[in-house]
Structure 1
Amino acid sequence: MRILLTGSSGWLGATLAPRLTALGHEVTGLDPVPAAQTRIVGSISDRDLVMRAVRENGIEAIIHSGALHKPNIEHFENTDFVATNVQGTLNLLDAAVACGVDRFVFTSTTSLMISQAIRAGFQGGARKAAWLTEDMSPEPRNIYGITKLSAEHLCRLYHIQHGLPVVVLRTARFFPEADDMADTIDQSDANTKANELLFRRLTVEDAAEAHVAALEKAPQLGFDIFIVCAPTPFQPDDCAALIADAPSVVARYFPEFPGLYTRKGWTMFSSIDRVYDASRARDRLGFACQTSFADVLATLKVEQGMA
């Protein structure tokens, strides 16, 4: 397929573009930042540019991963987020309909699922962890979440009005940067990211593979939304214990974890406040992340000469 990939110069785009090419697709990258995999340098907020990119390259599918993200909030105005995340998505959807694109994959975020009320509960001593699925009605807490949810609604609208097959992927954390709350956590970055694979993280390679799966399944699905996250070992019944004593819950599922962590000099979060349930993607999209917390422990065993 001839694919337009927005955000092609970003962390996900740099992984996804060569993966798509290896599968035999012709990829046209579009991004404001020049990069090897970016053929068109520009913004998706430029409607004429988007229309030309889709029309002149005979685009058959769009993977829309370009956006302003949460870390950009400190440096951009709300109008910038609306122009890129909302108007940019609308431009791409209009171009898709006008040019007969037959599938559209939108990279959204689990961040939009965390409302101010949920955030306050996390910070103020919630009685149990939040078990988060696609069935909840999101109330985003910041401009990033608001604009990503608005873009999701536009995707749904264009499926309803025009029959455009759209798959929305609410990806959990896969960014390489340290967490924005890293200063409050007495852990190495690698330790923190390993812990997060239990409930709110995936690798960028798995994020790319999820987009490949969505691209293939979009016509069959019509419209759907999926949380994409490493598979959690936890169950909803664990949520109270995860708030009170997360290490004991993790040890129930992985009895070898305390010894491996101690020898590594790592620690588990004392409390886990949310769990993203990716079972819908497994059941309907046929996709599950290949890297999980179990793989972290397997690597530690090798490092410690126990494998």
Structure 2
Amino acid sequence: MRILLTGSAGWLGQTLAPRLEAGGHEVIGLDPVASPRTAVRGSVTDRDLVRSVLREARIEAIVHAGGLHKPDIDRFSRADFMAVNIHGTFNLLDAAVEQGIDRFVFTSTTSLMISAAIRAGLAGGAARASWLTEDMVPEPRNIYGVTKLAAEKLCRFYHDAFGMKVVVLRTARFFPEADDMAHAIDQSDENTKANELLFRRLTVADAAEAHIRALQRAPELGYGLFIISAATPFTPADCDELIGNAPAVVARYFPNYPALYARRGWTMFHSIDRVYDSSLAAQRLGFVCRTGFRDVLAGLAEA
């Protein structure tokens, strides 16, 4: 297929593009930032540009991985978020309908699932960890989440109204930057990211593979919305103890972790306040992340 990939200069785009090409696809990258993977330098907010690229490049499918993200909140205005994340998504969907393109994969975020109420409860000492699935009704707490949720709704509308085959992927954390909670704990970034594979992280390689799987399954799914995160070992029954004594819960599932962590000088979070359940993606999308916490421990054992 001839695939338009937005965000081609980004962390995900640079990982996804070569994998798509290895699968025999032709990738046309669109991004405001020049890069080896950016064929067209421009913004999804430029409706005329979007329409011309889809038409002239004879695009057959779209992977919309570009947009403004949570770290951009400090650098861009709310109007910028509205223009890029909402109107830019509209431009792509609407132009796709005009050109008869009916396969669309949208990169969303689990961040929009953490409402102000959940955040306040976690900060104030919640009674139990939140178990988060696709069934919850999101109430985003910031402009990033609001615009991503609005873009998700646009995706659903274009499926319902025009029959577009759309898969929305609510990806957990896979960015390379230090986490926003790192300042609150005495822990290396590598240690923090390893811990997060238990409940709210995946590798960028797995994020890329999830998008490839979504492209493959879109025609038969019609529409799908999935949490994409490393498979958690936990169950809802663990949520009471996770909030107050996470190390004990982790040790039940991975008895060798305390010794391996001690050898590296690592620590486990005392409290785990949420768990993203990616089981629907396994059941309906047929996708499970290849890398998880068990792989981290295997690496520590080998080292």
Which TM class, normalised by the smaller chain length? over 0.9
Distance 2:183 2:173 in 1: 18
Matches for 1:273-284 after TM superposition, within 5 Å: 273-284=273-284
Structure 1 position 180, deviation (Å): 1.6
Give the corresponding residue for 1:186: 186
1:19-74 Cα shifts (integer Å, max 9, x gaps):
00000000000000000011000000010011111111000000000010011101
4+ aligned runs moved over 4 Å, structure 1:
none
Give the corresponding residue for 2:240: 240
1:261-296 Cα shifts (integer Å, max 9, x gaps):
001100000000000000000000000000000000
1:151-199 Cα shifts (integer Å, max 9, x gaps):
0000000000000000000000000000122111100000000000000
Give the counterpart letter for 1:12 in structure 2: L
Distance 1:183 1:19 in 2: 35
Give the corresponding residue for 2:164: 164
Structure 1 position 102, deviation (Å): 2.3
Give the corresponding residue for 2:13: 13
Give the corresponding residue for 1:177: 177
Distance 2:38 2:188 in 1: 33
Distance 1:284 1:41 in 2: 35
Give the counterpart letter for 2:262 in structure 1: T
Give the corresponding residue for 1:68: 68
Distance 2:224 2:140 in 1: 19
Give the corresponding residue for 2:228: 228
Question: Secondary structure at the residue paired with 1:134?
Answer: coil
Question: Secondary structure at the residue paired with 2:76?
Answer: coil
Distance 2:228 2:70 in 1: 18
Give the corresponding residue for 1:89: 89
Give the corresponding residue for 1:251: 251
Question: Secondary structure at the residue paired with 1:137?
Answer: coil
Structure 1 position 87, deviation (Å): 0.1
Distance 1:125 1:302 in 2: 37
1:57-112 Cα shifts (integer Å, max 9, x gaps):
00000000001001110111100000000000000001110001120000000000
Give the corresponding residue for 2:288: 288
Among the aligned pairs, what percent are the same residue? 69
Structure 1: which 5+ residue stretches go unaligned? none
Question: Secondary structure at the residue paired with 1:34?
Answer: coil
Give the corresponding residue for 1:121: 121
Matches for 1:197-216 after TM superposition, within 5 Å: 197-216=197-216
- Equivalenced residues, count: 303
Give the corresponding residue for 2:38: 38
Give the counterpart letter for 1:232 in structure 2: T
Question: Secondary structure at the residue paired with 1:141?
Answer: coil
Task: Answer yes or no: is the 8 Å Cα contact 2:102–2:163 preserved in 1.
Answer: no
Question: Secondary structure at the residue paired with 1:245?
Answer: helix
Give the corresponding residue for 1:101: 101
Distance 2:49 2:122 in 1: 43
1:211-266 Cα shifts (integer Å, max 9, x gaps):
00000000100111000000000000000100010000000000000000001100
Distance 2:52 2:127 in 1: 53
Give the counterpart letter for 1:27 in structure 2: V
TM-score in terms of structure 2 length? 1.00
Distance 2:55 2:86 in 1: 21
TM-score in terms of structure 1 length? 0.98
How large is the Cα RMSD of the aligned pairs? 0.4
Question: Secondary structure at the residue paired with 1:169?
Answer: strand
Question: Secondary structure at the residue paired with 2:104?
Answer: strand
Give the counterpart letter for 1:294 in structure 2: R
Question: Secondary structure at the residue paired with 2:5?
Answer: strand
Give the corresponding residue for 2:142: 142
